[in-house]
């Protein structure tokens, strides 16, 4: 438990103190945000030039916090924790390239969609290859070639099927968080509540691990404590960043942050064996992604738009909702989704009549 507290505290302090330094550095170098033309009329013109790539602070603070927690406890990092951090950092690097191209070419579009997807797939494929290897002394690997909900379910889908499934999760959730970004503090708050849920899930799995106490509902999870430490480190870094990203934002996380955060959520879901549960825990991101799918599908099939603009948050902007109203209400939806997911996770432990 001390590892979790140290990771969260160090991540918070480093991000809180490091973000203002990043704001000054990026401002001096002209690393400012470009805004889509259709959003200029919605008041987003004032955001043009706001420093972006703030996700670099989140990633660096989380990595240092994770290391500090192990150093403080004189413990050894685990394979599961390092793999999730690799996924976060790798996708963050893809996002960094995207952000840098936007800044360098002074446009709202960075990497071409194909190049961006290729980067996500390469990082995801390496993660998928490694996550089903490296068994511990009990033969438990960070993940099994099975789909999971509250734990692994059904038969093995094979290494090829599992790799495809993992890539769908990684690309899907990294893009989902990316789509959720766009309003000050929205993605930070929405992903923060999911990370908080994974701190609780990892801690619960630790206390009911099959290695320590074999029982009907115990968990065959390789490194539950370290996964909770990873979630706490990223959560602390995210809270410190949100202090400066809250409306009106003084810095944006950019694709560097949104892709990294989507990656860490997918990685935690895979390593804690709660893959399908993430759809509920991160329900707001899923809803926003569905709004884009519905908008594009409707326009291609009928020539008509369902929403005034997609993603969903911009629809409400064009309806006249204040930005802070949208952010707070969407945060509430994110909290309800996380609470529902946690409730489902704990439901199998409720006493049966």
Which pTM was predicted?
A: 0.93
Whether residue 14 contacts residue 86, with contact meaning beta carbons closer than 8 Å, is answered with no
Of the candidates 232, 339, 330, the residue with the CA atom closest to the CA atom of residue 280: 339
Residue 203 known to bind ligand: no
Domain edges within the chain: 1-273
**Residue 208 annotated as part of some ligand binding site:** no
| Separation of CA 90 from chain center | 13
If DSSP codes are grouped into helix, strand and coil, which group holds residue 147? strand
Rounded to 5°, angle at Cα 247 from 93 and 58: 25
Q: Helix, strand or coil for residue 255?
A: helix
Query: What is the tens place of the pLDDT at every residue in 9-34?
Result: 999 999 999 999 999 988 887 766 55
For residue 39, pLDDT over 90 is answered with no
Q: Where are the alpha helices (DSSP H) in the chain?
A: 2-29, 37-40, 55-73, 79-105, 113-131, 158-180, 186-207, 224-245, 254-271, 277-281, 283-302, 312-318, 323-347
Instruction: Tally Cβ neighbours within 10 Å of residue 256.
Output: 27
- CA distance linking residue 154 with residue 285, whole number of Å: 27
Lowest-confidence region among 48-52, 82-86, 94-98: 48-52
N residues, the chain = 353
Q: For residue 32, report the phi and psi dihedrals to the nearest 5 degrees.
A: -105, 160
User: Mind listing the pLDDT tens digit for each residue in 129-153?
Assistant: 999 999 998 999 999 999 999 999 9
- The predicted model gives 68-94 an average pLDDT of 96
């Amino acid at each position: 438990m001390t590892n979790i507290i140290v990771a969260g505290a160090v991540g918070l302090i480093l991000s809180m103190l490091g973000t203002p330094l990043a704001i000054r550095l990026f401002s001096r170098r002209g690393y400012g945000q470009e805004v889509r033309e259709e959003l200029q009329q919605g008041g987003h013109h004032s955001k043009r030039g706001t420093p972006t790539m703030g996700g670099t602070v989140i990633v660096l603070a989380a990595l240092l916090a994770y290391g500090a927690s192990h150093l403080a406890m004189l413990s050894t990092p685990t394979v599961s924790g390092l793999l999730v951090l690799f996924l976060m950092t790798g996708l963050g690097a893809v996002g960094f390239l995207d952000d840098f191209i936007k800044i360098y070419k002074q446009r709202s579009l960075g990497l071409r969609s194909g190049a961006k997807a290729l980067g996500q797939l390469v990082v995801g494929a390496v993660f998928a290859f490694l996550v089903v290897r490296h068994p511990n002394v009990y033969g438990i690997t960070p993940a099994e070639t099975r789909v999971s909900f509250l734990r692994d379910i059904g038969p093995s889908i094979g290494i090829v099927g599992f790799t495809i499934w993992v890539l769908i999760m990684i690309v899907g959730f990294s893009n989902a968080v990316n789509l959720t970004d766009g309003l000050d503090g929205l993605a930070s708050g929405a992903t923060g509540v999911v990370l908080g849920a994974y701190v609780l899930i990892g801690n619960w799995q630790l206390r009911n691990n099959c290695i320590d106490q074999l029982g009907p509902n115990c968990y065959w999870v390789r490194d539950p404590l370290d996964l909770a430490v990873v979630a706490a480190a990223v959560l602390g870094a995210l809270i410190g960043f949100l202090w400066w990203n809250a409306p009106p934002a003084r810095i944006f996380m950019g694709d560097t942050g949104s892709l990294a955060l989507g990656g860490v959520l997918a990685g935690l879901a895979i390593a804690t064996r709660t893959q399908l549960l993430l759809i509920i825990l991160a329900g707001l991101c899923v809803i926003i992604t569905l709004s884009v799918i519905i908008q594009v599908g409707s326009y291609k099939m009928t020539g008509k738009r369902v929403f005034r603009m997609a993603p969903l948050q911009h629809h409400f902007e064009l309806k006249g909702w204040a930005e802070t109203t949208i952010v707070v209400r969407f945060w509430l939806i994110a909290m309800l989704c996380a609470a529902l997911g946690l409730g489902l996770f704990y439901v199998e432990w409720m006493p049966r009549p």
